[in-house]
Amino acid sequence: MRVVIAEDLALLREGLTQLLQAHDFTVVAALDNGPDLHTALTEHKPDVAVVDVRLPPTFTDEGLQAAIAARTQIPGLPILVLSQHVEQLYARELLSDDTGGVGYLLKDRVFDIGQFIEAVRRVAAGGTAMDPAVISQLLARQDQSGPLAQLTPREREVLAEMAEGRSNSAIAGRLYITEKAVSKHINNIFTKLDLPPSSDDSRRVLAVLAYLNGQ
């Protein structure tokens, strides 16, 4: 799988490169600034890109801007954005084109290598990978009122896992329940939130995220 990496700290860039190469990714470009990233994304059209939000020359949200710009040129271009902090605002912007193939994770998540690689693969496959911090903020915000209050604690757990982008089998594994139980919970959630049922995993996640975002 071909991957583009953009990270301005050499240490982290090398680390990410080694990590991904060790898991059968081919790193076609590893860059340290925004303008180069934009060119690399549009020229290489990688299977997935791992991008830091803050990049030179402006040291603002150069990486995020380049990612969003590339995705308007090449809809659905899979990009996983990494950051030292998560903002609902950025999550919303990444999700707004509604095509999937996006991820937004804290850099800390790289510590858990298994899960990180799984997230990269998921994004490459057109799915989503949202940081648990983003999802818990969204859930907390909608908590006081509305249909979310009707969910059972277990359904809330399943909803959070699903919103992060996990598949039914992954949710089942993490919550120690059967896949059948997971799909039952998901059906209940969709009924309670009044969302249209969907068999396509990534469509389903996008619907849930859009719901949580209040869009």
CB under 8 A: which stretch of 17-25, 80-88, 166-174, 176-184 binds another protein? Answer: 80-88
DSSP structure class, residue 76:
T
Decide: is 136 part of the binding site for another protein (CB under 8 A). no
Give, in order, the Cα–Cα distances in Å from 208 to each of 13, 16, 92, 96, 105: 33, 30, 13, 13, 18
Which of 127, 197, 200, 192 lies closest to 164, judged by CA? 127
- Record the tokens describing residue 108, joined without a space: 């800390």
Decide: is 170 part of the binding site for another protein (CB under 8 A). no
The minimum distance between CB 18 and another protein, in angstroms, equals 18
Collapsing DSSP states into helix, strand and coil, what is residue 48?
A: strand
Smaller CB separation from another protein, 108 or 200: 108
What would the x/- binding string for another protein be over residues 38 to 77, using CB under 8 A?
Answer: ---------------xx----xxx---x--x---------
**Whole-angstrom distance, CA of residue 85 vs CA of residue 69:** 21
Whether the CB-CB separation of 91 and 102 falls below 8 Å is answered with no
Q: Which residues contact 90 (CB under 8 A, 6 or more apart)?
A: 53, 61, 64, 81, 83, 104
Smaller CB separation from another protein, 18 or 60: 60
User: Of all helices (H) and strands (E), which one includes residue 183?
Assistant: helix 179-192
The minimum distance between CB 94 and another protein, in angstroms, equals 10
Smaller CB separation from another protein, 133 or 182: 133
Smaller CB separation from another protein, 17 or 137: 137
Smaller CB separation from another protein, 172 or 212: 212
Distance, C-alpha 33 to centroid of its chain: 22
Smaller CB separation from another protein, 124 or 163: 163
Distance, C-alpha 193 to centroid of its chain: 22
CB under 8 A: which stretch of 9-17, 87-95, 148-156, 193-201 binds another protein? Answer: 87-95
Q: Which positions touch another protein (CB under 8 A)?
A: 53-54, 59-61, 65, 68, 84-85, 87-89, 92-93, 96, 107-108, 111, 137, 140-141, 144
